[in-house]
Structure 1
């Protein structure tokens, strides 16, 4: 008769609960005998009995064999085993293998190897020799590699340790938010000078670094140069917000290495996903042309040396099964080195005597789970209030990537609220090597914590917009403090409203300094509002006074004779001009009151200048304001044959409006998307709406305006979308993407759009897409070119030509209504005209010069005879003869987009309606991003970064 199992106390701990669950699994399988279990599992019955006995924690292999014999879910039980192992490790006393901290371990864990660790840095000897040879051969070198590939360890424990042993002086630092300051401090430490004066010299003259280093090494042998190693160089893009300081830092490094008498050699350690940022810097492009080295994954042999040789130094051995498992888990994986090192630290803590075993490695969670287990154990060891502090801390220590992975962010302790809980959390996380502390700064030990801890990954993903908003608030607070709390640096308007919403939703996330900044911003805005209210009261009193003066003036006019008439007339003119000037001041805050003042002034004295003020007041009748969006409105589109307007915003929504009564627009529907919106466009005569977000393109049936139906989402593509356009017939849709391709889609059945063709041709993201009026030709822009395609058969598009000539990114493209001419705008401050109507090849017709900044937009008038180009100023061109365009007019002022009314008589750019006059629209509180005319041209819509859209009445071809 088999012996009965001893009873288990389910509240005794994680090990007992685990054993009880194994017993329940056996009960659910029909309670097979131990002998039957042993036959199925290929383990002895004693081993299987001990696994469910609750005295010892079974190995992972024994657990999975037990579960498989009982027909359980092996994948779920594997995750359960790792969770129990982590919970037991968190609760283990300090003198057991689960003790916190890798003290005494021969591995570096998440930290990079430092120069003083060179004696235990193995596996990279060959690559270290390559780097050293390149440094001796040239004065500038950029070392690229993915996060976690071991760049920092290679540069610090490999290169720096070797050149210091050879007697070379070394300046080793990370750039941080102020790279010139960091360079000055390191140079001052080497030369003994004051860093303040040195930093001023470095900012003023790029040659200073070269001269100071020559001075410092003048007594050294000619072959002993100074080596500057700027590790984590990507911080000049992620942390340094001052473009001038970034340029100054790059100029210092390049000047020091290119001088004919240079005694400086520079090595940059850069994360691979920031290669694109580097090649956008002209100085770096030239310096890196033949001076690059890539750090890839370790080979299997290098991994074996990195694992076994540090253990031998510590008097330990790595068992064969453990070595084979780690090499198998890691070989060929870029970015896995910190995970391997951390897993080996945890395995060393669970060693058996002097042996590092596979069971210890599995108990630590392996490279897949060891870091997450450590982080979760550290998190659970904190109280609920301390866990909230830790959450806020990790969010502050992460720099959110835009087009790149998230990176760590170094902060000063001043950014954190001091207190015992803050100090305890920092020390606890530092003991687990999750964060690194020094006297002034705090940072995450390695980006692997961001990538591999699911809890932190989820927090960074769940509300990214709020995190970006909070990061902006943090930077604004720091700037306000740096400027001695200058009132002009405070938030106002939409920014303040969004920040107050953030504070109300999660007040615990803000520091006392940030709350003080918001309180000061709110008080300043309240004071300004009160001042405007007082000014309005005074102006109303002035209206009353003016009315009385009009009566007095009329009476005086009847009674006055002779010379008194002239004096009274002059007095009235002066009063009217004063009233007109006051109206101009109040027009932005109170248009109705400004109109009353101008009317009263005109009735008092109808001079030319007073009449001009009156006409300006009524020149652009502001119809209504469309509110509801909570972030920047970036795109608008009118349906072609009805009165529906679509607005798209970064608040992840598209809103539909009925603007038939422009004075009382009605919101019809709100379409929610999971990502920030970029563009909208109507197709199929207004029955279908395409909405482009940062990750997808969705099609909506808007035939029922109040209840749109989502028809489909375009299949996932290798790259995010950037633009959308419909062919005039509405049967084909084109989308631009960040990988430089354009895709054509058959949308005749919008519920099942199908990919017709993928058009390559650009080396960078597509910036705009446009169909010709007849729908037979497609134009795309990206990098420094524009491409033309024959889209008559969209399933087999034929490449026609590449328009070359611009020297920087092409931003926009437009076809003339007659289809014979194409215009393009570019970052190179020019627009170009191309003749596509004569002969098989496109011919460059003309280059349009005169813009002071980037040309953001080009548009043809419906009559094909006029072209507008927008960039810093709005320029009008007569293109009747495309080969000899004539500049007709230049309107100063910044703008981003322009559009003509259907009758070609009215032009709208980002802040004006123009009909042979300059009539300002300026009632938006921020930059206007998009303008569009309604069908018929009687109504204009504008969108802005202030979170609103506005409607303007355009009557009879004149902005009146």
Structure 2
């Protein structure tokens, strides 16, 4: 019989309640003896009986062993233990003395907790002495410091408690940018100057010089006052300076939505630090994952190479100093076991410094005498307790929708264990949904040190969060099955995208049915696209199965009829044999047609004959498209890949390059290739003739465009310089002028108005700029169009020159009134694409706009009655991004090309119901550009490998001309290989 336990003291407070619950748990387990519990818990009898005695709080490990031996819920008891430990703050829980004087009121703690160290904490800031010395020298010599580091690496602390105290004679100006950095800066400067902030903000908005001048005025006034008071400067500098510290600089990207205010704020800081008579020193603390954002700021990008400095994790020796030295300064000691545990927990882990400081602060509150002990650290919960408290505060601060977004985000960051504990999972930002709630939660969780953002990856700051945050544990238990399905879906989506949307990767059958049960709101846009493609493929397979079943049924019915009419079926048998032969021949021809397309880049003569024979054997759409594809791919592009013509010699006879431009009459082609442009005579597209060459310098050319009158060629190089050449005589082109475009990022495209007097350039800096090129020798900028939220890509003028269309990565198309190009205005915004807009083209009558997008579709828009518009038909036969679109000069047909290597030709006579005329294939893969040459449907394309193809859609012309392109007759061996069991009938029997 187990003996009775000593009665509990009802005055024991939280310890009484804790022990009483342990005893009740033991009673529910059948009151096993402590000897039996010790055998299951692997702890001594004394340790287990003391745990339920109510005199002291046992360690977390002993508590969980007790609970485990009694069959209790360990996760629930973790929370109970942590709450009890928090309630016992100020008591010596390891010794059980209950002394109330362990936490002395009025004593400054030597650790800052989750907050950053400030100037007042400089005496307790240790471990960063080497880094601090380097940064101080940097600020003294270069005046501008941009400190990059991961969240929780100690950027704020090293600036506030390390760098600032090194300049005792300088009163610093410290602030965070917030949503309006110029307003915040003006408020701080005005307070320092003793003036109203309004005039200061207006001056800062006017230009970057105002910040520098205001600082000089403030320092001059302070200098005069100090002279009157007889004070002396002890700064170590020849003049009295102002040290400006902008903490959490990434807020200019996360909170500030006004790009102009952001650029002016940064320009003011950089100018103040670099002015010849500068009296300002600037230090910026930036999270390392915002480095790319900083490179997009024109004022900062040039200064970064000399101003940036990274901050890495602390070494083991630095960690020991950060733990021991603050305690020694307060005449405290650190138990060696505690030092070893803290160093092991913190070393080599990103973003743990605030958590380490918080754990130390809680340990200090539970110190024993003048010693920080391992028992006190465990009573405080260590890293786990700090993380739990922070996580709950973060979660309670969110509203309902954002709490849902937080749940989805954290579940994605956990790798589910298979017989093991769950662990943290490092994911790419692209895997996360890009909604505003997710972005907000990600930002707030990073600020709370729950997540770490490193470059393009996100992960949980510490796996202890998975173990000890009860809410996250409950989420995992509730959604574990769903999460496994979703995780498998995420991996399948990633594989599908990496294999260029291979249909074999798509879900089918039971996997598709299970994935369809996942809630749509829990999926990202990528995963929804994968499921949509899987459903479409499943429906297509189902339709094919139905068609096969119908064919089998018809065949079975035919057999029954044949059997019933055996005596009179001789003629029918012959007819059936002919039908089977015809079907066999049709199958052979279709397969040969596909082979012809793939052979065309390497064996053009053989490919043309195979395609022609296939069409003559079975004249249908598929063999017709194959014939058009084989003849077009073998036109001029084959020469560039012929083994005998590879190199410079082939370029003399074959147009190559990455960017084309065609004159309005389709007779002259310009191809930009690296640092030169080659002009070609395309009067006979099958035999292009090389004309003049333009040397564009070493910068390398981007987009190019002819003026409609064909006399001038415009281009923009990689240095964002606009260049113009006189091509009146295309054999002898001559440079006319060049000037900077003033774009802050790469230029994507260029367009020219119908009167050849106005041009437009679009850029990744989110703007469009209009140019006056009436005098090509002196181009000048007319207007800057803003409003797109992300990179502006294609631009196109309407045929009458009154409007300009621009598309962007923001999924929208904007129509501008450019009747007066000096004061262009926004007319309308077209929304309907689900991804970036990469291509635009006006119909010849200007009433219809054709757009191509990353969402794999092209759309037709009715813009005849702006600002009212209407979406017409959708051209959705591409399997990947639509890279270029074009209208024929008569406007009845249009062409679309894409990364999938497909060239589609459409009948757009009725734009509400566009019909596909031809589905052509380029076996070389991605097609980047398409340009019409003639009204008869002849057009050219440019592949990602810089080769050029000429395409013909006039079938009669192709049939009459095909054999003229053949160099030798197909042999019997080749015929047998491609047309087995068919009689040898070469389509071009004589050599040409």
- TM-score, normalised to structure 1, is 0.47
Rg (Cα) greater in structure: 2
Question: What TM-score comes out, normalization by structure 2 length?
Answer: 0.45
